Chain A
Amino acid sequence: MTEISFELDGEQVTTNVDPKTPLREVLRDEFGKKGVKSSCDSGRCGVCTVHLDGDAVKSCLVLAPKADGRTVTTIEGLAGETDDLHDVQQAFLDKFATQCGYCIPGMIMTAVDYLEDGEYSGERAEIESALKGNVCRCTGYEKIVDAVEEVANSRS
């Protein structure tokens, strides 16, 4: 077992893990972050996307010890202390981007990473590229891209 400590959604946490465990399992099973989803088992679908030190990663492809000493943000901690939604969450709501909603936590985490990267054009083609590691089965992606486009435009 390896001891790991990290900041999780604003809280300092410590646990012991088998180092072969993916971060996703630790977040879901150890810390109850069920907002981090689990689906494809091959790194394709992106539903488990979280931020590691602010960058979007697929938590099924990150070994848990890699979180040690770092900051992990999940969808549940995205909006921080406030009760308000993060503006990207709000845009997803406003633009009807959710259907079943299973992909949405990962999708939003990737979108936020894209929008907070500093350099984006906000063009649809670029947004589509940014989101291609996140599979959605319901929406045809149209309204998801609409939502990200709206935030991109409103921020620039």
Chain B
Amino acid sequence: MTEYLKPVDRESARRYLDEHRDSAKIVAGGQSLSLLLRQGLLDPDVMIDISDVDEFSGIETGPDRVSIGAVTTYEQLESHPVSSTVETLGDSVDVIADRQVRTAGTIGGAISHADPSLDIVPPLLCLDATVRIGSVDGERTVPLEEFHDGYMAADLAQNELVEGITFDGSASDWESNYAKHSRVSGGWATVGIASRVRTTDDRDAFTDVRIAAAAVGDTAVRLSSVEDALIGEPTDRETVADAASNATADIDPLDDLSGSAEYKKHLARTLVERSINRTVDRTGGVR
């Protein structure tokens, strides 16, 4: 019979995990885990529920860093000011699943689950987020972009867990957006695109551009071909449209029930264009 452990502090969470390692499974909100258990895909001997660990909970905003604890729920993120200041986060959370799943599902659970279609990942990639990983040996950090290293695979040793995610949220001169396509409202993304840009003071040209995509391959990815094509370039619609056509260079979508690879490539181009334009509009630089 499975054992259920409920550590209340970081130390015991790390220790339990170290003791049980491969026979253990972390429980956060349980939204994805419940389905894996039901489908018989997992049958852990020990479940370690970290949702009561204070150190893993909540959002801290320092002068230049924003730190989101692993068991922070979508709902908590949604109602936190950072969702308005970093709009791509707010946009993303707004279109994830439904009210109930957002109430229980956590950011750490999502990142650990590593599904390439998760909506929260592209915004975090655009924020150059780093994942804070803990174990009895202490903490290490990995850029999110490297953390997801294959289809539903994360760079976690058996005695490691995700404790939080950190990014630079200080720069108020960035604008951002998340654009999602799904078959029905609240459904998983056919394609999801986050964009985050900074422009010259007159808003005429891009100085920094970050674009990331979900549901376009084994992992969510940054679209550097689009980014490179825009830096230093004017923010007008035509330039953006041209650059967006590069989106397919960085992605490798599959044919599946949500759509063909061809269609997803097309959607990626379209959503990149739309997302960047919306972001530009948010800078006030309407063309």
Do A and B share a direct contact in the complex (Cβ within 8 angstroms)?
yes
Chain A residues proximal to chain B, CB less than 8 Å = 1-2, 18-20, 22, 41-43, 46, 49, 52, 55-58, 60-63, 65-66, 68, 110, 113-114, 129-134
User: Is B151 an interface residue, CB under 8 A from the partner?
Assistant: no
| Contact indicator per residue, chain B 25-63, by CB within 8 Å of chain A (1) or not (0) | 001001101110110000100010101000000000000
Task: Write out the residue numbers on chain A whose beta carbons fall within 8 Å of the beta carbon of B4.
Answer: 2, 19, 63, 65
Nearest-neighbor residue (CB-CB) of B94 within chain A: A129
Is A66 within 8 A of B35, CB to CB? no
Q: Within the assembled complex, what's the spacing in Å between the Cα atoms of A5 and B220?
A: 41
Is A55 within 8 A of B31, CB to CB? no
Task: Write out the residue numbers on chain A whose beta carbons fall within 8 Å of the beta carbon of B37.
Answer: 20
Is B2 within 8 A of A20, CB to CB? yes
Closest 5 CB pairs of A and B: A133-B98, A19-B4, A2-B4, A61-B34, A132-B186
Task: Write out the residue numbers on chain B whose beta carbons fall within 8 Å of the beta carbon of A129.
Answer: 99, 185
Chain B binding surface, main DSSP class: mixed
Is A19 within 8 A of B47, CB to CB? yes
Q: Within the assembled complex, what's the spacing in Å between the Cα atoms of A61 and B226?
A: 38
Task: Write out the residue numbers on chain A whose beta carbons fall within 8 Å of the beta carbon of B43.
Answer: 20
Partner of B47, one of A46, A58, A63: A63
Q: Which of B80-88, B100-108, B122-130, B204-212 contacts the other chain? A: B100-108
Find the residue from B51, B98, B103, B104 having the highest chain A CB count within 10 A: B98
Q: Within the assembled complex, what's the spacing in Å between the Cα atoms of A49 and B104?
A: 12
Task: Write out the residue numbers on chain A whose beta carbons fall within 8 Å of the beta carbon of B185.
Answer: 129, 132
Is A63 within 8 A of B101, CB to CB? no
Chain B residues proximal to chain A, CB less than 8 Å = 1-4, 6, 27, 30-31, 33-35, 37-38, 43, 47, 49, 51, 75, 97-101, 103-104, 185-186
Given that A19-B2, A61-B30 are known contacts, is A41 also in contact with B38, CB under 8 Å in the complex? Answer: yes
Is B99 within 8 A of A1, CB to CB? no
Task: Write out the residue numbers on chain A whose beta carbons fall within 8 Å of the beta carbon of B34.
Answer: 22, 43, 60-63
Closest-CB distance, A97 to chain B (whole angstroms): 18
Q: Within the assembled complex, what's the spacing in Å between the Cα atoms of A38 and B98?
A: 18
Q: Within the assembled complex, what's the spacing in Å between the Cα atoms of A69 and B101?
A: 21
Nearest-neighbor residue (CB-CB) of B104 within chain A: A57
Task: Write out the residue numbers on chain B whose beta carbons fall within 8 Å of the beta carbon of A22.
Answer: 34, 38
The A/B interface has a contact count, at CB < 8 Å, of 82
Is A57 within 8 A of B100, CB to CB? yes
Is A66 within 8 A of B49, CB to CB? yes
Nearest-neighbor residue (CB-CB) of B184 within chain A: A132
Is A56 within 8 A of B27, CB to CB? no
Task: Write out the residue numbers on chain B whose beta carbons fall within 8 Å of the beta carbon of A52.
Answer: 104
Is B31 within 8 A of A56, CB to CB? no
Task: Write out the residue numbers on chain A whose beta carbons fall within 8 Å of the beta carbon of B1.
Answer: 1, 18
Task: Write out the residue numbers on chain B whose beta carbons fall within 8 Å of the beta carbon of A60.
Answer: 34
Partner of A66, one of B3, B51, B98, B99: B51
Closest-CB distance, B245 to chain A (whole angstroms): 33
Q: Within the assembled complex, what's the spacing in Å between the Cα atoms of A63 and B37?
A: 10
Task: Write out the residue numbers on chain B whose beta carbons fall within 8 Å of the beta carbon of A49.
Answer: 100
Given that A2-B4, A18-B2, A132-B186 are known contacts, is A56 also in contact with B49, CB under 8 Å in the complex? Answer: no
Is A57 within 8 A of B186, CB to CB? no
Partner of B35, one of A1, A18, A42: A42
Task: Write out the residue numbers on chain A whose beta carbons fall within 8 Å of the beta carbon of B35.
Answer: 42-43, 61
Task: Write out the residue numbers on chain B whose beta carbons fall within 8 Å of the beta carbon of A46.
Answer: 98, 100
Task: Write out the residue numbers on chain B whose beta carbons fall within 8 Å of the beta carbon of A55.
Answer: 75, 103
Find the residue from B31, B99, B100, B186 having the highest chain A CB count within 10 A: B100
Q: Within the assembled complex, what's the spacing in Å between the Cα atoms of A68 and B47?
A: 15
Task: Write out the residue numbers on chain A whose beta carbons fall within 8 Å of the beta carbon of B98.
Answer: 46, 132-134
Q: Within the assembled complex, what's the spacing in Å between the Cα atoms of A52 and B104?
A: 10
Closest-CB distance, B239 to chain A (whole angstroms): 33
Can you list 16 A-B pairs, Cβ within 8 angstroms, ordered by A? A1-B1, A2-B4, A55-B103, A56-B99, A57-B104, A58-B104, A61-B30, A61-B100, A63-B4, A63-B34, A63-B47, A66-B49, A66-B51, A113-B99, A133-B101, A133-B186
